[in-house]
Amino acid sequence: MKLTSRHVGLLLLALLLSYAFLLPLFHHGDPLQQELLNMLQPPSQANLLGFDHLGRDMLPRLSAALRLSLGLAALCVISAMLVGVLAGVLSALYGGVLDRVVSMLGDMCLALPGLLLVLLLAAIAPDSPEMLWLGISLVLWVEFFRVTRATLRPIVHSPGMQASKLLGFNAIYRFHRHLWPALAPVLLTVALFSFSSAIMAVSALGFISVGVRPPTPELGLMMTELLPFAWEAPWLLLQPVVALFLLLISLNLMMKKERV
C-alpha cells in the first residue's frame, strides 16, 4: 500500500493522541506538583522532558496541555457541526424565510473577527471555559452551515430526490440516500479545517491568558509562562511549540489531496 500524506498525518495524530490520553495510564506524575529544587532541570533519562521554572514535570504537564487543547477543540467542532449541518440541511430543503433568517444569523456571527467575538464573550464571564467554547463554536458553525447549504441545494431539486419524494419515502431515507453521500466527503474536510482553527484559537487565547488561567496546563499558556526562560532553558519553550506544530501539521496533512 502506498504511503500518502494522509496516512502520515493520521499516524502523527494517532501518536499525539496516544501521548495525550494514554500517558496517564503509565505515568502517574502530577502536572501541577511543584518541586522548586528541580526548577529548569534539563531532560534526563529519569525525566524525559525535564522540569519547568516551578519544578513541575514537563512530561505529564505537556500531556495534560494536549488533552485540554484537543478536548476543547473537539467539543467546539462537534457543537458547531451539529448546529451548522442541521441549519444547512433545513435551509437547503425549505429555503424561503428560514433560509434568509439563518443566513442573516450567520452574517451577524461573521460581522466581527472570530477572536474578537471570543474576547467579547470571555469579558462577560472571565476565566470561564464555557464562554471559550461558546465563542469558538459561534465562529465555526457558519462554515458548516454555508458548505452544507451550498452542497445540498442542487441535490434537493435533482430528479432522484424528487422521485423519492413522489414515491413517499420519508425524510430520513431521502437524507441517507441522496444528501449524505454528497455531504460526507466535504464535511470531513471542513471538520478537519475547523479542528485546526479551534486548536489555534484555544492556543492564541491561552497565550494572552484568556479562558484558561495558571496553573492549568495549556499549550498557549505554557508558551507565555516559559517565554522569559527562552535563553536559559530553550528546550522548555520548544516543547509546547513543537507539540502545537506537530498537531497542526498532522491535521493539514490529513486534508491534503493526493495528485494522481
> What average pLDDT does the segment 56-85 reach?
93
> What is residue 126's predicted lDDT score, i.e. its pLDDT?
67
> What average pLDDT does the segment 13-17 reach?
93
> What average pLDDT does the segment 57-63 reach?
93
| pLDDT of 30 over the 80 cut | yes
3-state secondary structure of 257: coil
> What average pLDDT does the segment 139-162 reach?
86
> What is residue 182's predicted lDDT score, i.e. its pLDDT?
85
> What is residue 257's predicted lDDT score, i.e. its pLDDT?
62
Residues 62 and 240: beta-carbon distance below 8 Å: yes
What whole-number distance in Å separates Cα of residue 18 and Cα of residue 27? Answer: 13
Q: What percent of the chain has pLDDT over 90?
A: 37
| pLDDT of 148 over the 70 cut | yes
Give me the DSSP letters along 173-210: HHIIIIIHHHHHHHHHHHHHHHHHHHHHHHHHHHHTT-
Residues 205 and 199: beta-carbon distance below 8 Å: no
Provide the grid cell at 12. 502523527
Closest Cα partner for 83 from 145, 134, 35?
Answer: 145
**90 or 128: whose pLDDT is higher?**
90
| pLDDT of 163 over the 60 cut | yes
Return the CATH number of 62-249, one of 1.10.510.10, 1.10.3720.10, 3.30.565.60, 2.40.160.40.
1.10.3720.10
> What is residue 260's predicted lDDT score, i.e. its pLDDT?
37
| pLDDT of 180 over the 70 cut | yes
> What is residue 1's predicted lDDT score, i.e. its pLDDT?
56
> pLDDT band at residue 63, thresholds of 50, 70 and 90?
very high
Residues 196 and 251: beta-carbon distance below 8 Å: yes
DSSP state for residue 228 in the 8-state scheme: G
> What is residue 258's predicted lDDT score, i.e. its pLDDT?
47
Element (DSSP H or E) covering residue 240: helix 234-255
| pLDDT of 259 over the 90 cut | no
What whole-number distance in Å separates Cα of residue 120 and Cα of residue 215? Answer: 23
> What is residue 80's predicted lDDT score, i.e. its pLDDT?
93
Residues 27 and 64: beta-carbon distance below 8 Å: no
Residue 162 CA: distances (Å) to CA of 11, 118, 152, 165, 168:
43, 42, 13, 5, 10
| Measured CA angle at 241 (ends 236, 242), to 5 deg | 95
What whole-number distance in Å separates Cα of residue 18 and Cα of residue 21? Answer: 5
Give me the DSSP letters along 128-191: -HHHHHHHHHHHHHHHHHHHHHHHHHHHHTSHHHHHHHHTT--HHHHIIIIIHHHHHHHHHHHH
- For the chain, the domains span 62-249
| pLDDT of 45 over the 60 cut | yes
